[in-house]
Amino acid sequence: MKKLLQRHLGKCLETCRMDGILTSDHFPEPLVEVPHHSEHGDFASNIAMLLAKSEKKPPRLLADGIVARLRSDTDLFEKVEVAGPGFINFFLNKDVWRKTLEVICASGDEYGKSTIGQGKKVQVEFVSANPTGPLHIGHGRGAATGDAIASILSAAGFHVVREYYINDAGNQMDTLGRSVYLRYRELLGERVEFPQNCYQGDYIKDIARDLIAKHGSKYLETSEEDAVSLFAKIGGDIILKGIQQDLRDFGVVHDTWFSEQSLFDSGKVQESIAYLKDKGVLYENDGALWFRTTQFGDDKDRVVVRGNGVTTYFA
């Protein structure tokens, strides 16, 4: 509506110039704003005050001349009046609003869509909770916000891909596997000391019970290292399926579920580290491998590979 009024004002200024009311060759872009008080109209403009200096006329006199021509458009305006030192207040014809409602109803889901994005690709990565536990209300907020942003961008003509980045590599997965393994042994009758840094939720026991129902005690004969690795994979898959179902029930659908572990399995992480070493932006210090991020404007350098050989999330 502001743009419509700006165009309308622009044409009116040209008419005023033809009629000799205005003499300038170039006009500033008409500013149209919503007044702070409804009694001042639906919209208001200070265009007369902006023109006063170049026209060398009082703004109220200029406003009177502009308004006299605007009043003839009864299809758009119920009334147009001059206020204060030269503000122009617009009171729109009520049919203008009603016609907009008709357009909305006729357009349906297409109303408000545009081609501003021109098909430019945009990736919106959101939620991306670690597959080490069920979603909580904070993840729900992230899901609603991310999905809304993706929908707005899509409606604006961007080619949007919604991505969930699965953090299925690193210490948190080892902790998940160890948590399930310890609960598994505990449910099979062993006395187990359960560490505080393991996952404490009842869902860990549920996964362990499911393993016992399907496989009995067979994994007691497996080495702890192998069992922890296997339980991390099984537990992660179960939790991820629950996350996916929760998001579907919530009305949020991702186009891509990208596994962090797949980057390691494909060798891309090591390839990237080798590439950065070759470029001279990685260096060793205190047994760790560091990225010279200060060279690129960061406040400090960042660890890429820890002293124990484990890559950081930054890597």
pLDDT at 226: 96
Q: E strand or H helix at 270, and its extent?
A: helix 268-278
C-beta of residue 207 within 8 angstroms of C-beta of residue 235? yes
CATH code for the domain defined by 2-96: 3.30.1360.70
**Which residues have C-beta within 8 Å of that of residue 257, sequence separation ≥ 6?**
163, 164, 166, 244
pLDDT at 73: 66
Tokens 């124990």 -> residue: 308
Each domain of the chain, given as residue ranges in start order, spans: 2-96, 113-266, 267-305
Query: What residue type is 115 in one-letter code?
Result: T
Give domain 113-266's CATH architecture: 3-Layer(aba) Sandwich (3.40)
Write out the E strands in 84-201: 87-92, 121-125, 159-166
pLDDT at 182: 97
The 10 Å Cβ neighbour count of residue 210 is 15
Write out the E strands in the chain: 32-33, 43-45, 77-83, 87-92, 121-125, 159-166, 256-259, 282-285, 288-291, 302-305
Cα separation, 239 vs 246, whole angstroms: 11
DSSP state at residue 303: E
Query: For the chain, how long is the longest CA-to-CA vector?
Result: 99
The two structure tokens encoding residue 199:
């996952």
pTM: 0.72
pLDDT at 20: 85
**Which residues have C-beta within 8 Å of that of residue 246, sequence separation ≥ 6?**
134, 135
In a structure prediction context, what are the per-residue pLDDT tens digits for the chain, which is 315 residues long? 888 899 889 888 888 888 888 888 788 888 899 999 989 999 999 999 999 988 999 999 999 999 988 877 668 888 999 999 999 999 998 888 898 899 999 999 999 999 999 999 999 999 999 999 999 999 999 999 999 999 999 999 999 999 999 999 888 999 999 999 999 999 999 999 999 999 999 999 999 999 999 999 999 999 999 999 999 999 999 999 999 999 999 999 999 999 999 999 999 999 999 999 999 999 999 999 999 999 999 999 999 999 998 899 889
Please calculate the CA angle 229-234-238 and round it to the nearest 5 degrees: 145
In a 3-state reduction of DSSP, which class is residue 130? Answer: coil
pLDDT at 225: 95
pLDDT at 70: 86
Residue 90: strand pairing partners: 43, 80
DSSP state at residue 31: P
For residue 282, which phi and psi values (nearest 5 degrees)?
-115, 145
pLDDT at 196: 94
Chain center to CA of 187: 43
DSSP state at residue 311: B
pLDDT at 287: 94
